[in-house]
Amino acid sequence: MELLQQVRVIDPTQEIDRLSDVLIENGKIKQIGDRLTDYPTEAQILSGQNLVLGTGLVDLYSHSGEPGNEARETLLALAQSAAAGGFTQVGILPDTLPRIDNAEILAAVKQKSSYLTNDDRNKPVSQLSFWGAVSHVTDTKQMSELGELKAGVIGFADRYNLSDLNLFRQVLEYVQPWQKPMAIALNCNELAGKGVVREGITSICYGMLGNPAFSEAAIIAAVLEIVAEIPTPVHIMRVSTKRGVELIADAKARGVTITASTTWMHLLWNDDAVGSYDPNLRLEPPLGDKKDQAALITGVKQGIIDAIAIDHQAYTYEEKTVAFALAPPGVIGLELALPLLWQGLVETGKLSALELWQGLSSRPRQCLQQEPIAIALDDAANLILFDSQKTWLANQENLKSSAANTPFYNQQIIGKVIKTWNS
């Protein structure tokens, strides 16, 4: 039993951000008020200075190394990493080996994840949910047995090129009666070519192939026209450009059933950083310019961009320690995102604490057609305790993930989740 005195309580569902005393027993809130005086004498009293008690975070999509690439990261390591970062729910993309494109593979990964989240010895306390693959393979685009998958997945996910849009239309029509979200990645299409950085001054200065911003905007515009006619819930992943934000804002104003997310890295970095040639800044889509970055932050603030995704992607040292253009895209982030977003956006006044929590907690659940979780007395616990000023070193001794592919590796981080409840 713990009494948190004058802890900062953040509940994005009820739009609460205030100091309160909170009594927690067995992970459930038993009392909450401005100043509690009548509480059990056995309660351990903890000063709430610099502490934030908030609803558990939700990551819409990340990648698992298991099955197929356990050398990168296992499901256990991913779940423990998520819990250490305050994420009580993580959506796993279907790009495993084999892909999650049939009922047998889905049952196997769900059984493994259920064991992990219920094993008292490990206690990762993060629920792993799974996206189903729309197609069997990424190149031939043969539709998976979606009907077999629908009961066990949070939705369906795939990437689309301009040449795939007829199949996209067919899939939307097929899954529409189920009203499960369809998450689509649009960043790898014909217009992007082989670009590894944003086309423009950056690609010229640093001598690397560029991916033009219009490659994203063109396919977003085409997808929005299709979704306007076939109202299946669609989620656009990894928005990275100012124009992409504008197109989504216009579509939402017209009532199109669309949600969208950007990644935490695109909120904190822009293409100025690429001059370091750090392969951990090789992302897909590539980092945008300062105008793109500012538009994404404003998009989150205004709710045009519904969610901040982590898009956690573990690689081995050998895979990522290569020349920038040869590096596979992606970084780890489940343990790093909240403290770095807090320092980079909340402490600087670019987002309020409540707006950040909305992008990381309540709105991602809405994207999944799930009810947002509120802080309430005696409800099943889904809470995290975050120390916004605790310092720690991001290294293998402190990170739960077995991977080290992050530009923040071996750097001092300010802010750390010190406890996660999920029952």
Catalytic-role residue among 272, 311, 379, 387: 311
Domains, the chain, in order of start with CATH, read: 56-367 (3.20.20.140)
pLDDT above 90: residue 163: no
Collapsed DSSP state (helix, strand, coil) of residue 308: strand
**What CA–CA distances, in Å, run from 295 to 71, 212, 304, 402, 420?**
37, 17, 10, 34, 32
| Residue 311 is a catalytic residue | yes
Q: Where are the beta strands (DSSP E) in 40-98?
A: 44-47, 51-55, 57-62, 87-92
pLDDT above 70: residue 139: no
Two structure tokens written together for 295: 């538009």
pLDDT above 80: residue 423: no
Whether 184 and 164 have beta carbons less than 8 Å apart is answered as no
Average pLDDT on 254-279 reads 97
Query: What is the structure's pLDDT at 260?
Result: 98
pLDDT band at 21 (very low <50, low <70, confident <90, very high): very high
**What CA–CA distances, in Å, run from 67 to 74, 99, 328?**
8, 9, 19
Average pLDDT on 296-323 reads 98
Amino acid at 228: A
Least Cα distance to 231 among 256, 204, 201, 208 occurs for 256
Residue with the bigger pLDDT between 346 and 163: it is 346
Query: What is the structure's pLDDT at 138?
Result: 57
49-76: string of b/e by CB count within 10 Å (b at 16+)?
Answer: eebbbbbbbbbbbbbbbbbebeebbbbb
pLDDT above 50: residue 119: no
Average pLDDT on 50-64 reads 97
Per-residue pLDDT of 283-307, as tens digits, reads: 999 999 999 999 999 999 999 999 9
Average pLDDT on 40-63 reads 95
Alpha-carbon span 300 to 303, nearest angstrom:
5
Sign of CA dihedral 346, 351, 355, 356: negative
Query: What is the structure's pLDDT at 162?
Result: 85
Residue with the bigger pLDDT between 42 and 248: it is 248
Residue that has been written with the tokens 């992050």 in this structure:
406
Query: What is the structure's pLDDT at 123?
Result: 61
pLDDT band at 117 (very low <50, low <70, confident <90, very high): low
Per-residue pLDDT of 197-235, as tens digits, reads: 999 998 999 999 999 999 999 999 999 999 999 999 999
Least Cα distance to 280 among 339, 246, 312, 321 occurs for 321
**Is the peptide bond prior to 67 cis by the omega test (within 30 degrees of 0)?**
yes
pLDDT above 90: residue 14: yes
Mean pLDDT of the chain: 94
